[in-house]
Amino acid sequence: MTTHAVATPADRPKGWSREAMSAPPGSGGQTGVARSAHLGDAALGWACRLSAAIVFLMLISLIAVLVHSAWPAIRQFGFGFLVSTEWRVNELERPMRDATGQVVLIDGEPVMETLAPAFGALPVIWGTAVSSVIALVIAVPISLSAAIFLVRVAPKLRIAGAASFLIEFLAAVPSLAFGIWALFVLAPLFQKYVGPFLQRVLEPIPGFRWMFYETVTVAGRNIERPIPLTGRDLFTGSLILAIMILPIITSVSRDVLKSVPRTQIEGTLALGATWWQSCVAMLRYGRSGLLGAIMLGLARAAGETMAVTMVIGNNSQISPSPFAPAQTMASVLANEFAEASEGLHRAALLYVALILLTMSLVFNVVARRLVVGGISPTGSH
Amino acid sequence: MPGSFAEFRRRSISSIMFGLCAGGAALIVAILLLVIGYLVWIGVASLSWEFLTSVPTGDVAHPGGMRHAIDGTIILVALASAVGVPIGVLAGIYLSEYPGEHVVTNPLRFIADVLAGVPSIVVGILGYELVVVPVSRWTQSSVSFSGYAGAAALAFIMIPIVARTTEEMLRLVPKTFREGSLALGATRAQTIFRVVLPGAFGGVATGIMLAMGRIAGETAPLLFTALGSRLLTHNPAEPFPSLTLQIYTYATGPYPEQKRLAWAGILVLLFMLFVVNLSIRLVASRHARFRVGV
């Protein structure tokens, strides 16, 4: 074992080990040295317990503060908040319409109605869920194949170390860097080339029209109009999310696959399995851990803020089209929390934060249970 | 049966899947090189001595530099580490070295894991509600965004990461070392500081640096706590600049010259993180004996 100079607390007397050794066990408090050693023990124990208490307090304060600050919105909207689609920050005044869509007139003047501010989380929950799922659909096959490559092939080529370093560095790149790249490279690319290309190819095919047209209600009538391809939409947001969750899914799956016993692989090969068939056996053996890796990716995608905020278009609406701007829970917080004055708007945003927290807690807890079930908790292999 | 069609089929499927797996790995590396390469390429073109040494001028055509933001990030990370590292390491020691108190340590481990997964924007909002709002109420000012609030939010992110990595690294030190030390008459504190911590030094340091790198790149927790500033300030009681906040403001703003600065800022940030990651590799390989996958 290599020893390294670690700053020892200054209050510890020199040569403590010899004296402590000569003191018989249980004679604590007999000599000055032994007493100070026991004091050190107690101090360390309480310092550790204090730190542990702080960690407990962190979780309690997180939940308590969010619930307390979101309480006005929770009381007003209840669980209906989760399924309501209205997100109206300010009062809205508009001409009243009757059931047929005609403006109600009295003496030739339209009757105005005032809509109170209303808040519902369904659009942002929708945006979070759809963008995360698209991101997973793109990222999981790439990540799993890369993980197999890292475990089965890279060591033979002696590039496992370099490849792992690259993936870990990718994981360390801040989300802001991905956001800027997506904003200045990916979004214009989609606006100019990819979007129009997809539209040209997919639009004539029946059943794809909904991707490029939206139905809006203007003056009581439904109008179908093309969705402008801006490059800042749900699809670009999902794509950058996919890129950002590649490293976490890859590195956790790599660890899970690495922990598959060698005998399992050798057994399948001895029975005449091809390379791929033995990989399938490996994937099956580690399936709960791999599911955990995917859940971790999902949790990461759902909570990701900066990159998504920069490219998703930030429009709280539910559109079936991936080329329409959307909004996620994290991005609505980043966009609106600064402007939210006191009152219901802020409480509603805190309610959103509470939902986001709950969701990511559930994903993380399930994921960790699955991964820990698959590999040893200390990660040694 | 060799030579049969079924045999041919399963062998070709295997080859195809091998190719796809290699393709997946190559794709990830290609994406990394594409993203990083582009950022570095544009960033280097935008980087200048002025960027590192001067502060914003207020003139959108000649926006100056980001000295204030670089200083701000360093101070924020230092403040957060000053709080987060001791608490995190001590909590990690508690998790690993006090197994007798497993009634507490088991839930604590779970909570640390859960906290590590909290979205950073939620931490930012907590910082606003827990630090900024009460301080404003106390000082009776309108809103007191401050560097301290930002550092508190960053420490919140740091503590669970440091605690869990410290615990895992300490667990790799063989139990016999502790028994040997205790058998020689050393106390628990002496054993921990003289035997266990030095044995896991590389791993613990790696975890700390990993957490520092992580918080240096965070933007979301600072949006509503440190707020950002265009002034060169070293007083954390004021609204405080950070590299990430300044980059975000410039990148989403309308002025091309400021966007150029945002690219340069990203390059500086990436360079800082690369240095951190590389030193992690070096520290970890020098202490390879107790290393696990970082």
Q: What is the mean pLDDT of chain B?
A: 88
Tell me if B68 sits within 8 A of B241, measured CB to CB.
yes
Tell me if B147 sits within 8 A of B141, measured CB to CB.
no
Each residue of A10-37: pLDDT tens digit? 444 443 444 444 444 444 445 666 677 7
- A198, two tokens: 């997809």
Encoded amino acid at B230, one letter: R
CA–CA separation, A169 and A87 (whole Å): 39
Q: What is the pLDDT, as a whole number, of residue B2?
A: 58
Most confident among A114-118, B198-202, B221-225 (mean pLDDT): B221-225
Indicate yes or no: CB of B13 within 8 angstroms of CB of A276.
yes
Average pLDDT for B183-206:
89
**DSSP bridge pairs for B171:** none
Residue of B nearest to A341 (CA): B143
A277 touching B (Cβ < 8 Å)? yes
Given CA atoms A332, A334, A339, A342 in this order, what sign does their dihedral have?
positive
pTM: 0.87
Picking from B25, B39, B259, the nearest residue to A181 by CB comes out as B39
DSSP β-ladder status, A92-95 and A112-115: antiparallel
Indicate yes or no: CB of B129 within 8 angstroms of CB of A66.
yes
**DSSP bridge pairs for A222:** A217
**DSSP bridge pairs for A88:** A118
Q: What is the pLDDT, as a whole number, of residue A375?
A: 45
Q: Which of A274, A282, A312, A356 to probe the B interface (max B CBs under 10 A)?
A: A274
Residue of A nearest to B169 (CA): A378
Each residue of A318-333: pLDDT tens digit? 888 888 899 999 999 9
B3 touching A (Cβ < 8 Å)? no
DSSP β-ladder status, A213-218 and A112-115: unpaired
Each residue of B7-34: pLDDT tens digit? 899 899 999 999 999 999 999 989 888 9
- A269, two tokens: 């090969």
Look at residues A153, A155, A286 and name the one whose alpha carbon lies nearest to residue B20.
A153
CA–CA separation, A293 and B285 (whole Å): 26
**Residues of chain B contacting residue A311, judged by C-beta atoms under 8 Å apart:** none
Low-confidence ranges of chain A (pLDDT < 70): 1-34, 101, 219-220, 341-342, 372-381
Look at residues A253, A266, A23, A28 and name the one whose alpha carbon lies nearest to residue A148.
A253
B22 touching A (Cβ < 8 Å)? yes
Give the list of residues 6+ apart from residue B188 with CB closer than 8 angstroms, or none.
A41, A44, A45, B97, B182
Give the list of residues 6+ apart from residue B138 with CB closer than 8 angstroms, or none.
none
A54 touching B (Cβ < 8 Å)? yes
Given CA atoms B208, B210, B216, B220 in this order, what sign does their dihedral have?
negative
Look at residues A219, A218, A229 and name the one whose alpha carbon lies nearest to residue A196.
A229
Tell me if B251 sits within 8 A of A183, measured CB to CB.
yes
CA distance A236 to chain B (A): 15
What kind and span of H or E run contains A223?
strand A221-226
B219 touching A (Cβ < 8 Å)? yes
**Residues of chain B contacting residue A296, judged by C-beta atoms under 8 Å apart:** 117
**Residues of chain B contacting residue A17, judged by C-beta atoms under 8 Å apart:** 184-186, 190, 194
B181 φ/ψ sector (left φ>0, alpha ψ -120 to 50, else beta): alpha
Give the list of residues 6+ apart from residue A333 with CB closer than 8 angstroms, or none.
A305, A349, A352, A353, A356, B121, B122, B125
Q: What is the pLDDT, as a whole number, of residue B70?
A: 92
Look at residues A69, A83, A62, A74 and name the one whose alpha carbon lies nearest to residue A358.
A62
- Chain A stretch 104-163, residues whose beta carbon is closer than 8 A to a beta carbon of chain B: 141-146, 148-150, 152-154, 163
- Using the CB atoms, write b or e for A155-174: b if 16+ within 10 Å: eeeebbeebbebbbbbbbbb
- Chain B stretch 68-107, residues whose beta carbon is closer than 8 A to a beta carbon of chain A: 86-88, 90-91, 93-95, 97-98, 104-105
> Exposed/middle/buried for A122, CB within 10 Å: 0-12, 13-18, 19+?
middle
CA–CA separation, B55 and B67 (whole Å): 5
Residue of B nearest to A23 (CA): B185
pLDDT band at B292 (very low <50, low <70, confident <90, very high): very low
A8 touching B (Cβ < 8 Å)? yes
- B220, two tokens: 């979301």
- Using the CB atoms, write b or e for A331-354: b if 16+ within 10 Å: bbbbbbbeebeeebbbbbbbbbbb
A10 touching B (Cβ < 8 Å)? no
**Residues of chain A contacting residue B216, judged by C-beta atoms under 8 Å apart:** 174
Given CA atoms A331, A65, A248, A364 in this order, what sign does their dihedral have?
negative
Indicate yes or no: CB of B292 within 8 angstroms of CB of A2.
no
**Residues of chain A contacting residue B91, judged by C-beta atoms under 8 Å apart:** 48, 51-52, 54-55
**Residues of chain A contacting residue B105, judged by C-beta atoms under 8 Å apart:** 52
Q: Which of B38, B73, B121, B244 to probe the A interface (max A CBs under 10 A)?
A: B121
| Interface contacts A/B by beta carbons within 8 Å | 308
A313 touching B (Cβ < 8 Å)? no
Picking from A23, A59, A145, the nearest residue to B185 by CB comes out as A23
Indicate yes or no: CB of A153 within 8 angstroms of CB of B114.
no
B152 touching A (Cβ < 8 Å)? no
Indicate yes or no: CB of B104 within 8 angstroms of CB of A353.
no
CA–CA separation, A329 and A356 (whole Å): 7
CA–CA separation, A237 and A196 (whole Å): 17
Indicate yes or no: CB of A177 within 8 angstroms of CB of B266.
yes
Q: What angle do CA B237, A305, B84 make, to 5 degrees?
A: 45
Indicate yes or no: CB of A361 within 8 angstroms of CB of B114.
yes
Give, in order, the Cα–Cα distances in Å from A258 to each of A150, A264, A265, B119. 9, 12, 11, 29
**Residues of chain B contacting residue A22, judged by C-beta atoms under 8 Å apart:** 185
ipTM value, please give it. Answer: 0.89
